[in-house]
């Protein structure tokens, strides 16, 4: 097998490659390589930023586990139901 890669580009991308090739005087392969390198560099940067955000969020969550009190599920559900019942009773007494 050869070391060739066959890529199937759509017409707008081919037009972009040809315009870049004309502008820079590079070969089509050189232009494609430059476009792909730019694309992958941008993808890597986006992934790096996402990873940084994700790690910061996990650390924030772990910190909150250590510093903030945990709430029992049943207590939270009871408070929610009491709040909803209070709202329902307040609205039931209003004339519409």
% of the chain with per-residue pLDDT over 90 = 42
pLDDT computed for residue 62 by the predictor: 93
Q: Is the Cβ–Cβ distance between 34 and 20 less than 8 Å?
A: yes
Per domain, the residue ranges of the chain are 11-69
pLDDT digits (tens, 9 = 90+) for 63-82: 998 898 888 999 999 999 99
pLDDT computed for residue 2 by the predictor: 62
What pTM was estimated for this model as a whole? Answer: 0.52
DSSP string, the chain: --S-------HHHHHHHHHHHHHH---HHHHHHHHHHHHHHHHHHHHHHHHHHHHHHHHHHHHHHHHS----HHHHHHHHHHHHHHHHHHHHTS--
The closest of 52, 24, 55, 53 to 38, measured between CA atoms, is 24
pLDDT computed for residue 96 by the predictor: 56
From 2-11, 40-49, 53-62, 63-72, the region with the lowest mean pLDDT: 2-11
Q: Is the Cβ–Cβ distance between 16 and 35 less than 8 Å?
A: yes
pLDDT digits (tens, 9 = 90+) for 31-50: 888 888 888 899 999 999 99
């Amino acid at each position: 097998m050869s070391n060739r890669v066959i890529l199937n580009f759509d017409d707008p991308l081919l037009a972009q490659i040809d315009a870049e090739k004309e502008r820079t005087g590079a070969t089509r392969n050189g232009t494609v390589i430059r476009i792909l390198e730019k694309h992958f560099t941008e993808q890597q940067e986006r992934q790096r930023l996402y990873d940084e955000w994700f790690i910061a969020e996990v650390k924030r969550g772990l910190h909150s586990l250590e510093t903030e009190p945990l709430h029992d599920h049943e207590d939270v559900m009871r408070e929610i139901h009491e709040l909803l019942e209070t709202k329902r009773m307040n609205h039931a007494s209003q004339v519409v």
